[in-house]
Amino acid sequence: MSAPKQIGRTYNQHHIPRPYMAGKRRFSIYWTWSYPWEANRDLTELDNRFSTMTEVRRVAWPAFEGSEWDKMNFLQGIAGTLELFHRSTLAFQQLVGETTGHPVAVYQRIDQAGYKLPIDERVLADTDTLMVFGLDHLVSEQEAEKGEIDAIRDWLKREGTCLLLAPHHDVGFTADMKQRQMEYKHHGDELVPRQQRFGQYTRSLMKALEAPVLNQFGLRPAVVEGTKEIAPLTINRELDKLGLLNGVTTFNFHLHLPHYALTTADTKSIHLLASQPVDLSRPHPFTAAGNREFNTCLWMPSGGKRGGHILLVDSTNFTTLFGGTESLARFWSNMAKM
């Protein structure tokens, strides 16, 4: 079998609008960060920054010791790590593109070249599923502006739209140094500092859109005993009216996943579709409080003036940077065919 034909890559180009095709969803990814702000962080700061590519290479040695990752071919600072995130969604983009016939558009709030793109008609006009990946550090003060909120509200009036909100973890939010150390020992990732708080932009959207969820902690999922395989999800299949989890048993293993805490008791406006067993062998305030699973997939059905759906799923589940499974690919396919 011949290898698929490779095509050239473009950079810093204007988006080419995707025409509507019945039954073919158009996906867009929106990274909420300011790429320059994140890439230019002071490396003497211990907390609330991404690791550099050099730090990634040191911790993950020898995974990134090929020539394609050296300083002649790949960025070695924080920018290199940000590019790893971009590369990690390529498998998802390929599957969705093949399924829908549309390329996945990828946007950044402020990109490498310094261009700022708020969420407006330029993003929304040819988008059916908007995936907002909340990997902006709180200290960068990224917040949704009124015009963006109004634009998203108007877009969600369109029947069949889907807004996926994906605020990442909130590690070490306390001033208690002992708790920060406990959280660090729990997830076990040497690349995550004792405090790494994400998702101000997505939090501002959740507040404006009345999504009763708060991203908390960075929890290590349990594995199947005697293996390195992530433990199966606990799925409320009777609530999954969209069929998003049909044929799905697990998501992606990642050392520090957010708990999407519900801030309401109203089970009609938002449904918990899936929760993930947490690693109980490593102490954490979350498990000390009696919790055994964390919320990992929630759905707000359409209703009232909102014709579209709102989902909450962590962005890690759309990447292959930390692995990938057939079950995860099934989840992607279900979303593409929703």
Q: Can you spell out the DSSP letters for 74-108? A: S--SHHHHHHHHHHHTHHHHHHHHHHHSSPPEEEE
How far apart are alpha carbons 292 and 269 in whole angstroms?
Answer: 24
What are 4-34's pLDDT values in tens digits? Answer: 567 787 888 889 999 999 999 999 999 999 9
Whether the per-residue pLDDT at 2 is higher than 60: the answer is no
Task: Please choose, from the candidates 252, 258, 244, the residue with its C-alpha nearest in 3D space to the C-alpha of residue 295.
Answer: 258
With a pLDDT cut of 70, the percent of the chain lying above it is 98
What are 268-314's pLDDT values in tens digits? Answer: 899 999 999 999 999 999 999 999 999 999 999 999 889 999 999 99
With a pLDDT cut of 90, the percent of the chain lying above it is 91
Whether the per-residue pLDDT at 324 is higher than 70: the answer is no
Q: Is 329 helix (H, G, I), strand (E, B) or coil?
A: helix
Task: Give pLDDT, residue 266.
Answer: 87
Task: Give pLDDT, residue 78.
Answer: 98
Q: How far is CA 169 from CA 138, 183, 209, 210, 259, in A?
A: 11, 12, 20, 20, 8
